[in-house]
Structures are given as structure tokens and as C-alpha cells.
Amino acid sequence: MPAGPGPTACPVTASHTPAVHAAIRILRCLRESPEPIGVSEVARLTRLNKSTVHGIIRTLAAEEFLTEVADTKRYRLGAALVELAEAVRGPRAGVATARPYLDELARGLNLACFLAVPYAEREFLLVEKAESSRGIRVTVSVGERFPLTAGALGKAYLAWQPTSVVLDAIARLRLPARTPTSIRRTSRYLEELAKVRAQGFGESYGEYQTDTNALAAPVFDASGNIALLLLTVGFPRELPLTLMKRHGRRLREVADRVTRALGGVHRARQERSIR
């Protein structure tokens, strides 16, 4: 997952509202570009008519969704998008509280670390990222979404859900064979979730993306529900099997600290206290 050399052509999909769809493609194109780019380049990458691109960019810039770089006629994403992002993150308890812990974790593990939130009942949304000091950068970005059954994130979340919720998620989303090591059998997946509950963190050995290992741990709110998830990923040489347990325990320790900082209650401990 090292960073690529530059933007590639944006995929073309059907839309019942062409102007809105074109604006979305333009925004995503700007997101993928490592440098500000102009109308002609955006038109080439999005496969949209240049005059259409020009008109939409002018409108987006006027509303501050894009900003022109020093009268160069080249654009990058604007401040209005930050406001929208904050509106998405705002109701999610503890993102700001968790950010310093995320930075500390990335420094300690020397791996890219992320904050994710359960989103739309079917997936996870990445809302924060802390890079490692390594030369190789992970191309996973804030705003990316992953299915509810995705690798370490899915395990760390579903391990603390009722069995009926887990089975419903598997029925709706399946356990896809993304890689040769992906778990496909429901019985095996349920066994894996029991293991996650026992150790406090989820593991993925190249199950979601080939040659990428991952760890995730949940952060609980005051009601014992999962508010956030801490995630770290790396190539096997950066996150080898020999370090997975140690790093997983570190991830769980930091997640527990965030839970306490939020006044949260770990669901397993909450259930013990009720008994």
C-alpha cells in the first residue's frame, strides 16, 4: 500500500443526476491528486467535457468546496469540505479526545494508525489517521469506508455484538474471499470472534488485502457500546506474525485508556458488574 506516483483516471458510473454525479467525480479526482490540478487535467481524469468541468469547478470554488492556488488556475479541496467532515465526525463521541492517543500509538508502533467509526449499519468510516515515521506511507485515507465484515475491524466490532447481529451481517454482506487467507465459513468466523473477545483485539493476516496485516481494538462509550475502533496496518515485514500479539495488546491498552478518558465502560466488564 505505498503511495502511488499520481492520480489515475476516475471510474465512470451511471447516475440519474448527471450534474451532481459529475461534481462528485471532480471532488474525488481532486482528493486523489497529490498536487493541485487544473481544469484540463481534471477533465482528462474524469472523462468529462472540459466546459462542464470548468463550470462545476467555478461553482465549487465559489462555495469554498475547492480553492484556487495563488491564481494558478489549479485547484485543491477547500475548507467547506472540512466543515462537512466535522459534521460527520461531530456526533461521534470522542474523536477529538482520542486523537492524541492515536498519535502516541503511531509513534510507539512505528506504524500508520487510524480511528474508525461504525457507519450506516453496514460499514466503517475512517475519521482520523496518524502516519508512522517510516519512509513508506499507507495509501488508506481518512474518509475511506470498509464493509462491516472487513478484516480486523470487522472482528473487533462484531466480537461484542449479539450473535443475531453477527449472523445478520454475514447473511447480508457475506464473508467474501478477498484473499486466499480470508475466512469463509461462518462457524470458523464465530470461533475467531470468541478469540477476539478473550484477547481484546482483532487480527487479520492478509485476510482483507494480500500482503497486509492488521490489528484493531474497540473503544466503548458510557453505555457499553462501541464508539470508535483503533486500527493499525502494515506489510508483513513491518507487522510480522511475531509482533502481532505484542502490538495487539498495546492497541488494546491504548483503546482501554481512550475508553476511560471518555467515561466509557468496556462491555465485558459491564456485563461482569451486572452479574
- This prediction has a pTM of 0.68
Residue 193 has what pLDDT?
95
> What's the domain count of the chain?
2
Q: Using one digit for the tens of pLDDT, what is the confidence trace for 247-269? A: 999 999 999 999 999 999 887 64
Same domain, 119 and 69: no
Which pLDDT band holds residue 173 (cuts at 50, 70, 90)?
confident
78, 103, 121: which is the final residue of a domain?
78
pLDDT in tens, 68-123: 887 788 998 887 776 676 555 544 558 888 999 999 999 999 999 999 988 877 88
In a domain, 10, yes or no: no
11 lies in some domain = no
> Is residue 222 assigned to a domain?
yes
One-letter amino acid of 151? G
Q: Do 114 and 58 share a structural domain? A: no
**Residues 66 and 170 grouped into a single domain:** no
| Same-domain check for residues 52 and 188 | no
Does 7 fall in a domain?
no
Whether 182 and 234 map to the same domain: the answer is yes
Whether residue 131 is found in the same domain as residue 241: yes
Residues 156 and 244 in one domain: yes
Q: Does 214 share its domain with 147?
A: yes
Give yes or no: residues 128 and 263 share one domain.
Answer: yes
Domain span at residue 238?
A: 90-274
Residue 69 and residue 98 in one domain: no
Q: Does 136 score more than 70 pLDDT? A: no
- 45: CATH: 1.10.10.10
d(CA 203, CA 239): 11
Residues 251 and 141 occupy one common structural domain = yes
Nearest-angstrom CA–CA distance, 215 and 151: 9
**pLDDT confidence of residue 88:** 58
2, part of any domain: no
